[in-house]
Structure formats: structure tokens, C-alpha cells
Amino acid sequence: MRIYQDRLLDSLMRVLDALEGEMSMKQMGIIMILYMAGTAAFGVLAVIVIHGLGWQWL
């Protein structure tokens, strides 16, 4: 568990370092793609859950 936390923290720090400096167009593009993919995945999951369980549980 500790190794996983350290790796997570390390990758988070790397992302923060990338955001701190001047971002290249490539970095911006990658972040946009990741953001859009995450949003799309969340949307699909929400639709599946709502259709599967109905509105009553909300």
C-alpha cells in the first residue's frame, strides 16, 4: 500500500510540476483529451446507472 501511495504522490507532483511551468501545446492537448475522456466516462456511467436503477434511488 505504501509503494502505491508513494507512486501516486510522485505522479501527482510530476503533474503539478508540469502545470507550474509553461505548458506546451502537446501537454495542453494531452490534458484536454484526458479531461474529455474522464467526462465522457462519467457521463456514460451516469446514464447506465440511472437507466439500470431508475430515478427512485436518487
pTM of this prediction?
A: 0.48
3 located within any domain: no
- Give the model's confidence band at 21: pLDDT under 50 very low, under 70 low, under 90 confident, else very high: low
pLDDT at residue 33, as a whole number: 94
Domain count, the chain: 1
- Give the model's confidence band at 44: pLDDT under 50 very low, under 70 low, under 90 confident, else very high: very high
39 located within any domain: yes
48 located within any domain: yes
Domain of residue 46: give its range. Answer: 24-58
53 located within any domain: yes
29 located within any domain: yes
- Within 8 A by CB and 6+ apart from 18, the residues are 27
1 located within any domain: no
Mean pLDDT over all residues of the chain?
Answer: 79
18 located within any domain: no
- In order, the DSSP letters of 2-47 are HHHHHHHHHHHHHHHHHHHSPPPHHHHHHHHHHHHHHHHHHHHHHH
14 located within any domain: no
